[in-house]
Amino acid sequence: MKNQVKLARVKVDLTQQQLADIVGITRQTVSLIEKGKYNPSLKLCLQICYAVNAKLDEIFWIEKEDFE
């Protein structure tokens, strides 16, 4: 699913590896999430939000018409 993880990560100046280490996942998973190829659980979404100092709806929200 499309998301703004990459943008938010770059904003707080984190590399994929650094974000992965903070959240406790692998770099590959971060990469897949950013590409929209892996849907993280709500728990992981929140952990990512805390790591990049953002709100859930800023990163993981998509409009209804773009949902498909």
Partner 1 sequence: MKKITDERLILRNLQNTRIAYVVQTIGILCILGYNFFQGGLEKMRENPLWLVLILTTVVYFYLSMSVSVEHERKIKNPMRSFLAGLIVLIIAVVAVGYLVSITPNFSSLNGLFLGAVLFICSFIPLYYVYRLRVKHAKELEEE
38 binds partner 1 (CB under 8 A): yes
CA separation, residue 15 to residues 22, 35, 52, 62 (Å):
11, 15, 11, 24
Nearest approach in angstroms of CB 50 to partner 1 is: 16
44 binds partner 1 (CB under 8 A): yes
29 binds partner 1 (CB under 8 A): yes
Q: What share of the chain is helix, strand, coil (3-state, %, to 5)?
A: 60, 0, 40
Residue ranges that bind partner 1, judged by CB under 8 A: 24-26, 28-29, 32, 38, 40-41, 43-44
